[in-house]
A and B are shown apart, each in its own frame.
Chain A
Amino acid sequence: MPLWAPKRQTRFGARERHHELYFDKLSAILRRDLLTAIRHRSGFVVTLVGLFTELTAFYYLSRAIGPGFRPDGVAYFPFLLVGTGLYTFFVMSAQAFLSSVQEAQQTGTLEVLMTTSTAPAELIILSSISAFAGSLTNLVVYIAAGAAIFRAAMHANFLSCLVMLFFSLAIALALGIFAATFQVAFQKGSALVWLLGSGLWLLSGATFPVQSLPGPLVTIARAIPFTYAIDGMRAALLEGRPIAEMASTVLGLALFVAILLPLAFLSLSLSLRRARQFGTLSFY
């Protein structure tokens, strides 16, 4: 059986080749996660049941509170629908990144993956994309189900929705990378996600308007990107506000993304390097 004559050096210089390789790797990862999901259907069913149960609970909560409560001038159920939908999206995305690293540590694949020709940081981000896409799908199904089954009133401006979705994705990406960084650096990613989940529930305006909070907490709420994303999405999806009228929200979100994303990439890269230096890559 002929084997091969190994090459001492290989060159993959061209930009086109780089893009081709990138999408090739992404498709391999998506295929892996799709096959795993298909062979592990119960997880999908449980998520779907959980989603509809949550939606039903919020519907009856809004009915119990009554039609008189109209935060930001909209009915409470659509308000809750968008707020909790985005809240779940942010937390699930962070959890997805975290799980991808934790599972790789526990199964022993992380160290091996780090020896492939794919850069470590690129690898973690690519590995999380499927789960990230899953949380985005959840968000869409959640809001669509709320509108179709529970008749949540919507007056969407699609361009504004797309812009808000883009910024929400970018923020969720940064958040997820921070969670992965915490896991690699301190093996405490779960604690960060838990803190994030509780903090967002209180401060992001997911379930009630942030103006109801005491002054100092309102200041904190206005200093985190999630509040802007949720407010912006509500305005775009429920009120049909055009993007030109949302300049301050868009500017605020753009600023957060410009700061958080590079910081997240840098911190992940440094934490991976540190883990390889100290031999803690597979610690969990």
Chain B
Amino acid sequence: MFNWVGRERTGETVALNNVSFAAGGGEVVALLGPNGSGKTSTLKLISTMLLADAGAVRVGGFDARREGKKVRRQVGIAVATERSFFPRLSARENLEFFAALDEVPRRERTGRVEEVLRETGLEEQAGTLAMKFSSGMYQRLGLARALVKRPAVLLLDEPTRSLDAAATVHFWVTIRRLARQNTTVFIATHNFAEAAAVASRALLLHRGELLTDRSVTAREDAARPAEIAEELRALYFRLTGEPMTSGAVAGESVIGESLIGESVTGLGAGFENAALGAKATDKIRRAGAAS
């Protein structure tokens, strides 16, 4: 259980309030909620980017506050910030740099960097300076950076936001494969379709509180994701009391719609648009921890 209170110049904002959950190896946990619900803050707390005001975050038995370094060795995070790379270094050079700081042994470094470049489809752009990358390429590079340390726990913040259809499907396949290899994956998203496609569990967050922790059992079943997404969506609106909306709501429709198309193409299953309403987000004022 942990809390995090973000401080702003005008006062305090309770970004997470008594949120408590656990996840085991091989689980893919979707953190679902609108902007400002506390998804990114949760990921940042697990990664030690933020420290909890109360309660504890434990990863692999280590306390994030007292044993931060041991926690960081096990956690890889791909943040939503696109340009968190050194612009005048190539993709490969950036990955080599972060691998060194992540204490990847020197003799394994080149091999691992090439492996994640392949895995994220960046082989051809490996020598390109990061400043020339598009949003989607940055996002892939962010995933590659998170993977290069071979983390036991992988944290992904809106991982497919800027990916094209093929890359999104490839990404989902990669996540499933990582889960089979016992990696715990947390995905922060506001898209029910994405959660239904890859997650084994869904945590619904709203205004910093955990509304429900629900099992999503049919991850491998291509026929079920649409139903699961719809169930999650209905559950969310029932629990929050937000007015039910049909399809996407202003501000989030682009992401939702693009994922529908990608899902149809890639998995052979049509997803109904299930993006969360943006209305709820207006009521939550957030500082640096906004999802």
Contact = CB atoms under 8 A, between A and B. Distances in A.
Interface stretch (A5-13, A91-99, A260-268): A5-13
A12 B48 contact: no
B60 A36 contact: no
A36 B86 contact: yes
B178 interface: yes
A283 B177 CA distance: 37
Interface string B208-221: 00000000000000
Interface residues of B, number: 60
B181 A5 contact: yes
A25 B149 CA distance: 14
B228 to A, nearest CB: 25
B288 A280 contact: yes
A9 B72 CA distance: 11
A36 B88 contact: yes
B7 A279 contact: yes
Nearest to B103: A117
A117 B101 contact: yes
Q: Interface on chain A toward B: helix, strand, loop, or mixed SS?
A: loop
Contacts, number: 139
B107 to A, nearest CB: 11
Interface size, A (range): 35 or more
Given A279-B50, A279-B289, A116 B178 contact: no
B53 A35 contact: no
B101 A116 contact: yes
Contacts of B177: 3
Give the interface centre of A3, A5, A21, A31 by most chain B CB atoms within 10 Å. Answer: A3
Contacts of B72: 115-117
Nearest to B6: A279
A101 to B, nearest CB: 15
B49 A276 contact: yes
A1 B74 CA distance: 22
A66 to B, nearest CB: 48
A119 interface: yes
Contacts of A61: none
A9 B51 contact: no
Interface in B58-106: 60-61, 68-70, 72-75, 77, 79, 81-89, 93, 96-98, 100-103, 106
A281 B150 contact: no
Given A32-B86, A36-B88, A114-B49, A4 B181 contact: yes
B252 interface: no
A109 B84 contact: yes
A276 B51 contact: yes
A144 B10 CA distance: 53
Contacts of B68: 119
B49 A117 contact: no
A207 to B, nearest CB: 37
A216 to B, nearest CB: 37
Interface of B: 4, 6-7, 15, 25, 41, 44, 47-51, 53, 60-61, 68-70, 72-75, 77, 79, 81-89, 93, 96-98, 100-103, 106, 115, 118-119, 129, 145, 149-152, 174, 177-178, 181-183, 287-289
11 contacts: A9-B70, A32-B89, A32-B97, A39-B129, A108-B82, A108-B84, A111-B49, A117-B103, A117-B149, A276-B50, A278-B6
